[in-house]
Chain A
Amino acid sequence: MSLRHLRAIIRKEINHIIRDRMTFILVMLTPITMLFIMAYALTVDIEHIPIAVLDFDRSSTSRAFVQRITEGKDLNLQTYMDTLDEVNDLLMRGEIKAALVINPAFEHDLLSLRGMPLQIIIDGTEPATGGFALDQIGGRADAFVGELLAAQIGEQGRALSLQPIDLRVRTLYNPSLKPRVDMIPGLISMMLGFPALSVALTLAHEREHGTLEQVMATPVGRAELLLGKIIPYIIVGLINVIVIPVIAMVTFHIPFNGSFPLFFLLSAVFLFAILSMGMIIGVFIRTQPAALALSFLVIFFPGFFLTGIFFPIASMPEIMRIEALVLPGTHYAIITRGVFLPGVGLDVLWPYGVMMLGLGIGFTAVGVLFFRKKLG
């Protein structure tokens, strides 16, 4: 391998990228645009969940109960309803996510300590909001019953509730559990994956146009050619590695507690691994549409769903947990979250860095080998 050859290929590739101004702008800006879209879309506080009440009892106790349930900001009493049909209709339209049905004997049964004739209805199509509403209603209903019990049994004078256990919850690194604080670092792997798609496409592009043979006729070696193709996109990626955390910190107040040089280094390793994946696709596939479809299926879709950003890997079936290890994004998501939030160092993150490096070397080797066979 000669540095001179490598440099020539890199210069050619950079010329390609820059001359095609629109593509250049897109390659540079897609990751940053993604960051903005996600940051705004993930600014979520689960509150103002609309609920309806169907009060058949209409007693002072039931009114106090409803008051108690909806006193916070999270559940909004949308409306009082008169019939179950109306409640069903609202659920159907998605205008409410949960409903309380208070049976006629509510006050009577509660005051005589027989029980609490209450039905909670939740919309099972949206568990994020439905499950949350269920938890909140359940907890407040228990507290309400506890106070009633205390009053009835004459234990006044001491705060008695059905929740004597004092649960002291402390959430580290992201105290309010805001999704965007951990999602944005996690999704950086998706943003940096864009250059990989570009590598797959440029290689396929050369084959489609037959320009690869021209380059192959020069004394440039195959490994040099492939590396030369990847390095410009690593550079583009590294610029994004600097820009994305800065925007995340300054504009969206995502904490960055770790070491930036370490983040930079490990991001470079990730770029190497993911771009090698793109390279393999480009080596195997000869037309751009096919390369594009395959990079969507191999890099994009699994990178989104199977790398533990949304769904924890621990809860996946065994085979998928192994499969996740082959995706560089899995390791990189652990690294980005670790560096951004707890601010851990290389002593913790080195296994993931090594895994990504191994994957990158493996992918590159496969790419170069097959490249040789196909053109040799």
Chain B
Amino acid sequence: MFKRIWSLVIKEFVHLINDWWMPAFMLFGGIMELLLVGWATSRPITNLPLMVLDQDQSAASRAVVTALENTGTFTLEAQAPDMETIQDALDRGQINAAVIIPPDFDNEIASSTGRPTLAILLNGAESIPATAALRAIEGVTRDMGKRITLRRLGLRPENFADFNPSLRVWFNEALSEALYTIPAELGLMLEFTVLLFAALSFSRERELGTLEQLLVMPFSSLEIIIGKSIPVVLVGLFDFVLMLGMVHLAFGVPVRGSLALLLILAFGYLLVELGKGMVISVISRTQHQAFLLVMMIGMADFMFTGYAAPVESMPQIIQYVANLVPAYHWLTIMRGILLKGAGMEILWPNVLALAVLGLVIGTFSLRYVRRALD
């Protein structure tokens, strides 16, 4: 049996080498692109175009503008002459936010009971930059406000440095954006690579008419399935190790937990995705269909990796659905081991969920594929 499976594995690798474009694109192209995307997007949100309408033109209003510039979040566009310009720029999507400083801003600050006003307009058509802009503006006004109050009370701000709570950021002391975007991007790349390879395994042979040849040979369906699976899992693991090494070198993504555990669990996760891919591969009559199904399933899974929005904030029913997505558990495991240095004692609920999902998908997949082949 092993000999026959071995010959099937050899056959698959001969195919891969003959049609080497596909593995080359998927592995090396994929890694290059992961590095590129990681480089472009794993950074704080900066340079958001901001417009200021300064109706006060005082020292205080200029201090606000300088403080906003110093956050690094904004690039200041030219001062707006009037509200129409701001409205127009917002409509055109040229700016993400605008700050309007009213004429009496300075006086209100100077008076002991004044309540200086700042009007903020945000471009909600891009919610992610708008949220970042709001946070930066709130930070600036909070600092200014504190200083104003202390001055009004006749106190010196230096004495009140102790009123700022001390902050500790766990698992990511430098607040590096790479540490949370890269794992999700890597996870997506890995999932697609494995799903695509697996989904092509039978659909391609069927479309090219070679599946019949394979079936008339003296292989049992189980042997064929195993023979098809081994190269997929090997390629997937190789891809994972390569990508992990690259992001570790390029973006300093740490491996704080046990690398061995990570690799073992990666192997398990790949088996689950393999099961999904095999089902797709048998359902699809052509490679085209297989590809569309992979794209759809992969993109749906991506919604639960916490990249676009935190899963914990989704409606309860969606969170139940998320628990059925292998990629969700895998991302939790990967982040846990890479960033938190977590071990099995912490990760067991996700590992268990992944194992149950794997068992269900694997059993279904095996029965379904065998029936389809026989």
Contact = CB atoms under 8 A, between A and B. Distances in A.
B329 to A, nearest CB: 12
A208 B36 CA distance: 31
A334 B129 CA distance: 14
A174 B125 contact: yes
Interface string B11-23: 0000000010110
Interface residues of B, number: 118
Interface stretch (B229-237, B286-294, B353-361, B362-370): B286-294
A181 B20 CA distance: 43
Given A41-B314, A43-B315, A293 B25 contact: yes
Interface in A310-326: 310-312, 314-317, 320
A26 interface: yes
Contacts of B19: 287, 289-290
Nearest to A319: B40
A163 B135 CA distance: 15
Interface residues of A, number: 121
Given A46-B313, A197-B295, A315-B48, A122 B177 contact: no
B224 interface: no
Given A142-B142, A174-B124, A306-B40, A165 B118 contact: yes
Contact of B21 (A47, A119, A293): A293
B189 to A, nearest CB: 7
Contacts of A171: 121-124, 130
A9 to B, nearest CB: 18
A115 B29 contact: no
B196 A118 contact: no
Interface in B146-169: 146, 148-149, 152-153, 160-169
B339 interface: yes
A121 B141 contact: no
A20 B290 CA distance: 13
A45 B36 CA distance: 31
A197 B196 contact: no
B326 to A, nearest CB: 16
Contacts of A290: 19, 21-22, 25
A68 interface: no
6 contacts: A43-B318, A92-B336, A125-B339, A129-B313, A173-B125, A296-B26
Interface of A: 20, 22-23, 26-27, 30, 33-34, 37-38, 40-50, 88, 91-94, 97, 109, 114-131, 134-135, 137-139, 141-142, 145-146, 149, 153, 155, 158, 160-175, 177-179, 181-183, 190, 194, 197-198, 201-202, 205, 208, 285, 287-290, 292-294, 296-297, 300-302, 305-306, 308, 310-312, 314-317, 320, 334, 337-338, 340-342, 344, 348
